[in-house]
Amino acid sequence: MGAPDTMTQVPFNKPYMTGKELWYIAQAHASGHLAGDGAFTRRCSEWLERRVGSQKALLTHSCTAALEMAALLADIQPGDEVIMPSFTFVSTANAFVLRGGVPVFVDIRPDTLNIDEGLIEQAITPRTRAIVPVHYAGVGCEMDAIMDIARRHNVLVIEDAAQGLMSSYKGRALGSIGDLATVSFHETKNIISGEGGALLVNRRQDEERAEIIREKGTNRALFFRGQVDKYTWVDLGSSYLPGELVAAFLWAQMEEANTITERRLALWERYHVAFADAEARGKLRRPIVPDSCRHNAHMYYLLLPDLRRRTALIEALKERGIQAVFHYVPLHSAPMGSRGRATGDLRRTADASDSLVRLPLWLGLEEQQDKVVEQVLQLL
Ligand SMILES: *Cc1c(COP(=O)(O)O)cnc(C)c1O
């Protein structure tokens, strides 16, 4: 009898549990080590370093925290500019605005909805300090072009790979290409710990300082390794490391990362095949994954012809118990957008924001996916 959304039979997201999470949490509990940087944190960081091929992985309590650490490592000063898409989550910008930085918003490519690398160079000024490519839907940005621009202008590249774990670009894992990268283990991502994230450090010279920033600006890690004889305040920093219980949960997920990715890819493919005809008839556009990219099926979205039809589809699906959602109010048009600077008209960003609808994609959807496909096709 309730409001339509209390009758939702197919939620947009449902966190997947492997079944081992509580077992590992019990082990952490029994070990008596509850603060961060215990055995599970070490396992998770080493897994990330191996898997992504990063110099160093540091667990954080969110991707947002990892982005804030990146802004500190990049020494962002008031007035410094950071180039990024406007079509992204708020944390991409907020982390730099917190340091007085100015996000400079660049439009996206029509195919992947990632930052248009062809528009980056004209957005660079003497104040530019970093470029932050966001790998939307786990599909890689044009990293070769972006790294080339960054090297020529001597600016850092910080990959927002929140959605990009287990994806690659030209055979290189997302998160391993930029100077720094951040990932998320939020419950809406593929590999989860409720809240959680990591900073990936790809330059040796940033390793030590990254540890210090994560440990409240102290050289605690160096002290415990016997590399300094006093443990003291040496830099800016905050408390960015998660406790062991969170790392224990995350370890259960990392062990299953391949299976989780394969099952998500199967769900993604099923949608993709199911909507091929509708695309051919001009009813919608499906996601485009360039040949250079292997993706992780983080998201399945459709692009409808306009805002009216997109909104109508979401509403009608809701009435049928299926939760589909739109994605991003562009940052430049948000109330805080005036803290940044838009370059060009950001037309494609506005178009994507108006026309995009994300469909449910979670492990366990298998039994209900036909219903989702059927309803979408009917409503088109
Ligand atoms: C999810 C997400 C974030 C934030 O991740 P948290 O772990 O929730 O802080 C940042 N950027 C992008 C692109 C995201 O998708």
Provide the CATH number for the domain around residue 340. Answer: 3.90.1150.10
Q: What is the pLDDT of residues 304-319, one digit of tens each?
A: 999 999 999 999 999 9
Asked whether residue 176 falls in the same domain as residue 307, the answer is: no
Ligand 1 binding pocket mutation candidate from 115, 136, 139, 186 (most atoms within 8 A of CB): 186
Q: What stretches of 22-91 adopt beta strand conformation (E)?
A: 56-60, 81-85
Question: What is the Cα–Cα distance from 265 to 297, expressed in whole angstroms?
Answer: 5
Distance of CA 191 from the midpoint of ligand 1 (Å)? 13
State what percent of residues in the chain have pLDDT above 90. 94
Residue 62 Cβ contacting ligand 1 at under 6 Å? yes
Residue 84 Cβ contacting ligand 1 at under 6 Å? no
> Cα torsion for 69, 72, 77, 81, to the nearest 10°?
-40
Asked whether residue 300 falls in the same domain as residue 197, the answer is: no
Predicted confidence (pLDDT) at residue 2 exceeds the cutoff of 50: no
Distance of CA 89 from the midpoint of ligand 1 (Å)? 6
Tokens 């605005």 sit on residue: 97
Domain ranges, residue 319: 257-379
Query: Is residue 226 packed enough to be buried (19+ CB in 10 Å), middle (13-18) or exposed (0-12)?
Result: exposed
Residue 198 Cβ contacting ligand 1 at under 6 Å? no
Which one-letter DSSP state was computed for residue 160? Answer: E
Domain closes at, from 254, 273, 305? 254
Asked whether residue 237 falls in the same domain as residue 278, the answer is: no
Asked whether residue 185 falls in the same domain as residue 310, the answer is: no
Chain mean pLDDT for the chain: 96
Phi first, then psi: give them for residue 224, nearest 5 degrees.
-70, -25
Predicted confidence (pLDDT) at residue 6 exceeds the cutoff of 80: no
Ligand 1 binding pocket mutation candidate from 59, 82, 91, 136 (most atoms within 8 A of CB): 91
Asked whether residue 142 falls in the same domain as residue 215, the answer is: yes
Residue 85 Cβ contacting ligand 1 at under 6 Å? no
State what percent of residues in the chain have pLDDT above 70. 98
Cα–Cα–Cα angle for 213, 129, 103, nearest 5°?
A: 95
Q: What is the pLDDT of residues 192-220, one digit of tens each?
A: 999 999 999 999 999 999 999 999 999 98
Is 249 domain-assigned?
yes
pLDDT value of residue 7: 64
pLDDT value of residue 124: 98
Residue 184 Cβ contacting ligand 1 at under 6 Å? yes
**Residue with CA closest to ligand 1 atom 1:** 162
Distance of CA 379 from the midpoint of ligand 1 (Å)? 31
Is 2 domain-assigned?
no
